[in-house]
Structure 1
């Protein structure tokens, strides 16, 4: 029987509807670096691609991701854009907090951007925000959090919107909950692809709230 003590969330595409601002940031970078730009009408097709497939489609070398991320975050800071939360997210976070369940965030986004978003949306009780510039290292951040609080896999579950979130859960033994309103298309996590990572649960309430 599970006794949940903590819920870990991804940020972009799960908590924050940040896609528009990051498309603007990426397109400015793409124009300078010679990568293919992203049009809004391309989003549905891109959602159905894995990260390596997206990089090939955009002529964007995967090895450049750690170097490109700080440039994207700089644009977000300089634009002073307030990243919105998805509908229903604040109410859900408030409910978890009221029940005494710890809320944590593990993201590839910068911690100061996440903190600013939460604060501007009236969420001031998330103390654990772990950030990594390596997009496939969330399992290391999960292990760090589990060790810090002496949590076992049955104490925690993870909510994310991408295949790599589920992969991280599989590596750490956590239950994986997939947010259907995020960046990845359901085909990537439904078993339709050869090596699809399948979540334990799927939720789709936020956009209906």
Structure 2
């Protein structure tokens, strides 16, 4: 269910989506990719017993837990991006995502994707029909570099921050939205636990794609 007050369906003119964990179900792949990187770059693996605890951590806290030093992070990210490109068959859009994006575009809401993943990867997972409706792309962001990308989308779209909604599943998404002055909608079906997301005081919390669609005043067709 949507949390808190009902969203005014006409309030938001721009919807900015994260990709991994928000539009696409990549968390199971992520766990394996981290452990592959751990073997190569010599940091702590994620064990099965760690998963729920790690879902309660921010990206910075996870780096500390896994003993990933700052100088290794770009190497790890590069390795995982290469793995993602080679393993996109493991990535699937969450149920309802494709019709949600179509419905928002049909209603005149501008769409943006801001992600650390690459644009070719996003396009292959979401498909050409949906991606043709995305007006603003900021892909390949650094792990903690989304805020400038969000500001760039605002500038290019000429939409005020208060009229945009940043939709994501991680604490770093909330941090970036806050830095850019954009209301943040936390989705609980991705990488980060609901409790950790609620601690960020998001404007909205959604537990399913249909809940998000209903709150934004659009109906979903076939997923």
Question: Normalised by the size of structure 2, how large is the TM-score?
Answer: 0.82
1:7 to 8, 11, 15: 15
Contact map agreement 1:82 1:117 (CA 8 A) in 2: no
* Rounded Cα–Cα distance in structure 2 between residues aligned with 1:13 and 1:207: 16
For 1:8-40, what per-residue CA distance to the aligned partner results, in whole angstroms no more than 9, with x for missing partners?
001111111011222222222211222222234
For 1:151-194, what per-residue CA distance to the aligned partner results, in whole angstroms no more than 9, with x for missing partners?
11132111011111111121122111000111111222333xxx
- SS, match of residue 24 in structure 2: coil
* Rounded Cα–Cα distance in structure 1 between residues aligned with 2:53 and 2:193: 9
Structure 1 ranges of 4+ moved more than 3 A: none
Q: How many residues align?
A: 203
Contact map agreement 1:159 1:177 (CA 8 A) in 2: yes
In the TM superposition, what is the alpha-carbon distance from 1:41 to its structure 2 partner? 4.1
* Rounded Cα–Cα distance in structure 2 between residues aligned with 1:123 and 1:70: 27
* Rounded Cα–Cα distance in structure 2 between residues aligned with 1:42 and 1:68: 19
* Rounded Cα–Cα distance in structure 1 between residues aligned with 2:29 and 2:89: 8
Say whether 1:152 aligns with 2:155: no
Q: Could you tell me which runs of 5 or more consecutive residues in structure 1 were left unpaired when the two chains were aligned.
A: 192-196
RMSD: 2.2
Say whether 1:97 aligns with 2:97: no
- SS, match of residue 185 in structure 2: strand
After the TM superposition, which residues 68-107 of structure 1 pair with which residues of structure 2 at under 5 Å, given as runs?
68-107=76-115
After the TM superposition, which residues 1-209 of structure 1 pair with which residues of structure 2 at under 5 Å, given as runs?
3-119=11-127, 123-124=130-131, 125-191=133-199, 197-206=200-209
Question: Normalised by the size of structure 1, how large is the TM-score?
Answer: 0.87
- SS, match of residue 3 in structure 1: coil
* Rounded Cα–Cα distance in structure 1 between residues aligned with 2:140 and 2:30: 17
Greater relative contact order (CA < 8 Å, ≥ 6 in sequence): 2
Q: Could you tell me which runs of 5 or more consecutive residues in structure 2 were left unpaired when the two chains were aligned.
A: 1-7, 212-222
* Rounded Cα–Cα distance in structure 1 between residues aligned with 2:88 and 2:140: 22
In the TM superposition, what is the alpha-carbon distance from 1:94 to its structure 2 partner? 1.7
* Rounded Cα–Cα distance in structure 2 between residues aligned with 1:68 and 1:142: 24
Contact map agreement 2:16 2:111 (CA 8 A) in 1: yes
Contact map agreement 2:198 2:205 (CA 8 A) in 1: no
Contact map agreement 1:35 1:60 (CA 8 A) in 2: yes
- SS, match of residue 192 in structure 2: coil
